[in-house]
Amino acid sequence: MAVDDITKLRPELLEKSPAELRRQRDEIDMALAELEREAEVKAKAALADEANRHIEAMLASAKFLHDNGILPPRLVDALSRNDGQFNPATFLRTVSAEQLVPRAARPTGEKKRRRVRDASGNLVPSKASQK
C-alpha cells in the first residue's frame, strides 16, 4: 500500500523552499544519470577489450606489411606523420569503455568567452577593461 499524502510520507519537505526542492531534484536526476552511465560503461568494457585486440592486430599487420614493402604507398602516406615517419599508432589508438559511452550534453547557457587576438597575434583588450 502506497502513501499518497506528502504530509504523512515526508512532512519535512514542506518546510523547504521551492528553490531548495528543485535543487535537490536536479541533484538526484544528475546522480541517476551518472549511475546509468556507469552501468553503460561496464556493459561496454567487453566491447572495448575486443576493439583493442583488433586495433593491436591492425597495428602489427600494418607494421609487417610496411617492413616488407607490401603496404601500398597511399596507405604508407595515410599512416605516416607530417615529418614522414611511418607511425600508424598516431591514427589507430586504443579505446576505453569510457570513450564508447558519450557524456550527456551540458545545458546550453551563456557562451564561453574566449580571448580574442588581432591579425598580428596580440591579445585584444576586452571592452570591460577599456572602460
Residue 91 within a domain: yes
Residue 89 within a domain: yes
Residue 8 within a domain: no
Percent of the chain with pLDDT over 90: 47
Q: Give the pLDDT confidence of 18-36 residue by residue, as tens digits.
A: 999 999 999 999 999 999 9
Query: What 3-state DSSP class applies to 117?
Result: strand
Residue 53 within a domain: yes
Instruction: Name residue, grid cell 556493459.
Output: 43
Q: Give the pLDDT confidence of 79-121 residue by residue, as tens digits.
A: 998 888 998 888 888 899 988 888 776 666 666 667 788 888 8
Least Cα distance to 98 among 50, 53, 31, 37 occurs for: 37
Single pTM value for the model: 0.58
Residue 122 within a domain: no
- Which range of residues forms the domain containing residue 38? 17-98
- Cα distance between residue 126 and residue 130, in whole Å: 7
pLDDT at 67 over 90: yes
Number of domains forming the structure of the chain: 1
Contacts of 97 (CB under 8 A, 6+ apart): 41, 42, 44, 45, 47, 48
